[in-house]
Amino acid sequence: MGGMQGWLQERLSRRLLLAGGVAAAGAAAANVTGAKGEAAHPGHDAGGTAVAPGGDAYTAGPSGHSGAHGAMVTIGEVDSGRNGFDPGAMLTDWEVGTLSTLPDGRTLRTFEIVAEDKEIEIAPGVMFLAWTYNGRVPGPALRATEGERLRVVFRNYGSHPHSIHFHGIHAARMDGVPGAGLIGPGEEFVYEFDARPFGCHLYHCHALPLKRHIHKGMYGAFVIDPDPVRHPEQAAVARSRLLGSAENLGWQEFVMVMNAFDTNFDGENEFYAVNTVAHAYMKAPIAIARSRPVRIYLVNVVEFDPINSFHLHGNFFDYYDQGTTLTPTLKTVDLITQCQAQRGILEFSFAEHETGLYMFHPHQSEFTELGWVGMFDVREDVA
Partner 1 sequence: MRDAPTSDQDAELPGVAAAPSRKTLLWVILPLLAFVGAIAVLIATNPLARFDNGTPPVENIAFERTILDGGGLRVLVRAGGAEPMTIAQVQVDDAYWQFKQDPPGPLPRGASAWIQVPFPWVLGEAHAVKLVTTTGATFLHEIPVAVATPVADRSSLLSQAILGIFVGIVPVAVGLMFYPALRGVGQRGMTFLLALTVGLLAFLLVDAMGDAFELAGEAAPIFQGNAMVVLAAAASFLILMAIGRRNGAPRGLALATYIALGIGLHNLGEGLAIGAAFAAGAVGLGTFLVFGFTLHNVTEGIGIAAPILREKVAPWVFAALVLLAGGPAVLGLWIGSLAFAPQWSALALAIGAGAILQVIVEVTALLRRRDEARLFSPAAMTGLAAGVGFMYLTAMLVKI
Chain contacts with Cu ion (rule: CB under 5 A): 162, 205, 207, 213, 218
Q: What is the DSSP string of 93-114?
A: -EE--EEEE-TTS-EEEEEEEE
Contact map string, positions 351 to 370, toward partner 1, x by CB under 8 A? ---------------x--xx
Report 103-142 residues binding partner 1 (CB under 8 A).
123-128
Compute the least distance from the CB of residue 162 to Cu ion, in Å.
4
Residue 350: which region, alpha, beta or left (left: phi > 0; alpha: psi -120 to 50)? alpha
Q: Smallest distance, Å, CB 311 to partner 1? A: 17
Q: What is the largest CA-CA distance in the chain?
A: 93
Among 75, 102, 169, 190, binds partner 1 (CB under 8 A): 75
Cα distance between residue 224 and residue 213, in whole Å: 24
SS3 content of the chain, % helix, strand, coil (to 5): 20, 35, 45
* Partner whose binding site includes residue 218, from partner 1, Cu ion, none (CB under 5 to 8 Å by kind): Cu ion
Q: Other CB atoms closer than 10 Å to residue 177's CB: what's the count?
A: 15
Cβ pair 153, 188 in contact under 8 A: yes
236 makes contact with partner 1 (CB under 8 A): no
The upper half-sphere exposure of residue 329, i.e. CA atoms within 13 Å in the direction of its Cβ, equals 13
158 binds, among partner 1, Cu ion, none (CB under 5 to 8 A by kind): none
- Residue 38 or 187: the one with the smaller Cβ distance to partner 1 is 38
Task: Say whether residue 261 binds partner 1 (CB under 8 A).
Answer: yes
Position among 48, 65, 68, 74 found at the interface with partner 1 (CB under 8 A):
74
Site for partner 1 contains 267 (CB under 8 A): no
CA distance 261 to 268: 8
Instruction: In angstroms, give the least distance from the CB of 309 to partner 1.
Output: 17
Choice between 122 and 301, CB closer to partner 1: 122
